[in-house]
Amino acid sequence: MPKIAVVEKKKCHPVACGGHLCAKLCPVNRTGKDCITWYEDNKAKIDEQLCTGCGICPKRCPFGAISIINLPEELSSRPIHRYGRNGFHLYNLPVPVFGKVVGLLGQNAIGKSTVVKILAGLLKPNLGGDDDATFDQLADYFKGSEAQGFFEKLKEKKIKISYKPQQVDAIPKMYKGNVRGLLTKVNETERIDEVVDALDLKNVLGTDIKDISGGELQRVAIAATVLKKANVYFFDEPSSYLDIKQRIKVSKFIKSLADENTSVLVVEHDLIILDYMTDIIHIMFGKPGVYGIVSLPKVTRNGINIYMEGYMRDMNMRFRGYSLRFDPRPSVSKEGLPALTSWEHITAKLGNFSLKAENGTVNIKKNIGILGENGIGKTTFVRILAGVLKPDTGEIAEKVKVSYKPQYLDSSSTDVVASLLGDAVNKYENQLIKPLDIEPLLLRPLNELSGGELQRVSICYCLAQDADLYLLDEPSAYLDVEQRLIISKVVNDVAEQRGCSVMVVDHDLMFIDYLSDELIVFEGVPAKCGEAKGPFDMEEGMNLFLTDLDITMRRDRETNRPRINKPGSRMDQEQKEKNRLYYS
Ligand code: ADP
Ligand code: ADP
Ligand code: MG
């Protein structure tokens, strides 16, 4: 059986474990051979040939940095790529299909961006060796498969690629000037006005790149990608920072790119959007940070259901020990639950923006989802409830103790995670630390965490405070599907066990649906005025919200997950006639 030994360098702390504990314990080392030694950076180095797979080092490493994996027999033993010896291994590749939007679905650190970079020609695969593979080696490796054709065409320059990277935050560092300047510079088409229109960028054309919001930056990046003349487009996480209205708009736009000469590949964690945007998907599974395997293509609906189930029939492979069952929250009657806080006739003016909230009540043990466009006052409202901001009129009836996780996380501190969390590490071991997988991060400095790691730590920190009301502003950002579902479970448990309330602002509708008992819906005009309505029960709130979006949704027969109806389909029309836009 093919065996790989991977050391996740970020997790390896060769001094804190007492000095290369793995090497001290290794039975092969004890016979005088050099199975486990170390690299120049002092991190563990494992010789895959000498390793017997005894299982002692992965079990005993206090930081879980080592994985010795016996791969499934049917994998061709050579990976497509590995990041150096004892580094992450990638197996198989998806192939772009002309006329289709292909999706890539998998956990964080399972290799999705690596796949995209290889196909986009930005990363030369090494086929598991120490050097880049040549085009001929690749052609030989893929002989007889669809990928062979793809790499041959790439070599002959018959395929031209355009790529939107995952990290749009890097763009302001690379380009100085306004939005119009950037788009004009990259433009190779006649479509600039059409693209600006489709992505709602008219109002920001004159704005400096360094001053635009995250959601605007994302749409500028998508526009720039599309304005390059190409026949294969890659979008790595295009929905980040976008509100739901923009996600749907962007999805329609990306869908419209695929034709007989053009193919599109997207990585996406918002399952409703992935479902809506793609025709087929590849599932990626394996062990995050260690190895990733790309599945054969599946029709999207079926593929997402397989992903949630955690079992792949065609490979007879269970890749997760449990299924991500999607059970909608039972509707609990509000009667009898005491009110935690309420508000009346709130107004506030900030610059050109005015906020209004007539009246509403938050009951204890209730999770309230907050939905609305970017720039419509959600964060402002949350800050008023938290007492950080004083409204111009109206008041909050009951001053409650609030713990608040802001939307933008501060990552400048060099403190380690353990010192930020303090005694919460022991106090909430089962409620927070274990489910949020914080343990491996404890010794890491905050400024070295990835977006998803920092998000988990921030959520943990917020929920570890003593409070009556917890406010989480966009907790799903940077998290993968599994992590989003875990967060919603953790939030439910915290509300239930501590008898507190939780309010969550988010743009992932499935996440909100999974987590909320009630909804607050924002209406208005972004950057001008916004009004908070509700809390409503789920059905009423979703109906109000979806009316504005002009879409209807149903639940999937097998998994109960929410799906967007095809516009104009029978279901879409029927639900609109009955005015039941939400999952009837
Ligand atoms: P995803 O996009 O699914 O989150 P990536 O493809 O970005 O995953 O990364 C997969 C794994 O490869 C991660 O563990 C990451 O740390 C590792 N990795 C990515 N780039 C490099 C690199 N240049 N050198 C070493 N390891 C890397
Ligand atoms: P959301 O959270 O829904 O995206 P926000 O509450 O952050 O929206 O912002 C609503 C509007 O108020 C935005 O147009 C924003 O630019 C504006 N705004 C927020 N804070 C201030 C402030 N301190 N001064 C002036 N304008 C502000
Ligand atoms: Mg990625």
Number of domains in the chain: 3
Average pLDDT over residues 281-307: 96
Tell whether ligand 2 has an atom less than 6 A from the beta carbon of residue 339. Answer: no
Q: What is the pLDDT of residue 584?
A: 64
Q: What is the pLDDT of residue 465?
A: 96
Same domain assignment for residues 257 and 135 = yes
Round to whole Å and give the CA distance between 184 and 392. Answer: 43
Q: Provide the total of helices (H) and of strands (E) in the chain, helices listed first.
A: 21, 26
Tell whether ligand 1 has an atom less than 6 A from the beta carbon of residue 105. Answer: no
333, 325 in Cβ contact below 8 A? no
Question: To 10 degrees, what angle do helices 244-257 and 214-227 make?
Answer: 10
34's CB contacts (< 8 A; 6+ apart) are 47, 50
Q: Name the closest-CA residue to atom 27, ligand 2.
A: 350
Chain CA centroid to CA 471, Å: 20
Same domain assignment for residues 359 and 412 = yes
2, 79 in Cβ contact below 8 A? no
Q: What percent of the chain has pLDDT over 70?
A: 97
Tell whether ligand 2 has an atom less than 6 A from the beta carbon of residue 527. Answer: yes
Q: What is the pLDDT of residue 265?
A: 98
Same domain assignment for residues 179 and 57 = no
- Cα–ligand 3 centroid distance for 112 (angstroms): 5
What is the 8-class DSSP label of residue 180? Answer: H
Q: Would 442 be classed as within a structural domain? A: yes
pLDDT at 283 > cutoff 60: yes
369, 504 in Cβ contact below 8 A? yes
Q: Would 239 be classed as within a structural domain? A: yes
Output helix, strand, coil percentages for the chain, rounded to the nearest 5: 35, 25, 40
pTM of the model as a whole: 0.91
Tell whether ligand 1 has an atom less than 6 A from the beta carbon of residue 111. Answer: yes
Q: What is the pLDDT of residue 328?
A: 63
> If you average pLDDT over each of 118-122, 339-343, 460-464, which comes out highest?
460-464
Same domain assignment for residues 310 and 415 = no
Round to whole Å and give the CA distance between 46 and 331. Answer: 53
- Cα–ligand 3 centroid distance for 270 (angstroms): 14
189, 229 in Cβ contact below 8 A? yes
The answer, yes or no, to whether the previous bond of 79 is cis (omega within 30 of 0) is no
Question: What SS3 state is found at 361?
Answer: strand
Tell whether ligand 1 has an atom less than 6 A from the beta carbon of residue 108. Answer: yes
127, 197 in Cβ contact below 8 A? no
Ligand nearest to the CA of 104: 1
Q: Would 559 be classed as within a structural domain? A: no
Q: 382 vs 464, 491, 499, CA distance in Å?
A: 19, 17, 20
What is the 8-class DSSP label of residue 166? Answer: S
- Cα–ligand 2 centroid distance for 529 (angstroms): 10
Residues 384-421: tens digit of each pLDDT: 887 888 999 998 887 788 898 987 787 889 999 999 99
| CATH code assigned at 474 | 3.40.50.300
Tell whether ligand 2 has an atom less than 6 A from the beta carbon of residue 507. Answer: no
Q: What is the pLDDT of residue 170?
A: 84
Same domain assignment for residues 104 and 144 = yes
Q: What is the pLDDT of residue 421?
A: 96
Q: How confident is the model at residue 540 (pLDDT cuts 50, 70, 90)?
A: very high
Residues 180-206: tens digit of each pLDDT: 999 999 999 999 999 999 999 999 999
Atom of ligand 1 minimally distant from the CA of 107: 3
Q: How confident is the model at residue 109 (pLDDT cuts 50, 70, 90)?
A: very high
Q: Would 569 be classed as within a structural domain? A: no
Q: Which of 563, 552, 516 is nearest to 536 (CA)?
A: 516
pLDDT at 245 > cutoff 60: yes
Same domain assignment for residues 297 and 377 = no
Average pLDDT over residues 245-265: 95
Q: What is the pLDDT of residue 317?
A: 85
Q: What is the pLDDT of residue 519?
A: 96
Same domain assignment for residues 191 and 307 = yes
pLDDT at 141 > cutoff 90: no
Q: How confident is the model at residue 326 (pLDDT cuts 50, 70, 90)?
A: low
| CATH code assigned at 46 | 3.30.70.20
494, 436 in Cβ contact below 8 A? no
**Segment among 71-75, 304-308, 467-471 with least mean pLDDT:** 71-75
CA dihedral 42, 43, 47, 53 (to 10 degrees): 140
Tokens of 373: 């466009």
Average pLDDT over residues 485-512: 93
Same domain assignment for residues 362 and 472 = yes
Same domain assignment for residues 351 and 392 = yes
Beta-sheet pairing, 280-287 with 291-294: antiparallel
- Segments forming the whole domain that contains residue 62: 3-70
Tell whether ligand 1 has an atom less than 6 A from the beta carbon of residue 141. Answer: no
Atom of ligand 2 minimally distant from the CA of 351: 25
Q: Would 405 be classed as within a structural domain? A: yes
Same domain assignment for residues 65 and 204 = no
Tell whether ligand 1 has an atom less than 6 A from the beta carbon of residue 326. Answer: no
Q: Which of 246, 346, 353 to mutate to test the pocket of ligand 2 (most atoms within 8 A of CB)?
A: 353
pLDDT at 423 > cutoff 90: yes
Tell whether ligand 2 has an atom less than 6 A from the beta carbon of residue 376. Answer: yes
pLDDT at 150 > cutoff 90: no
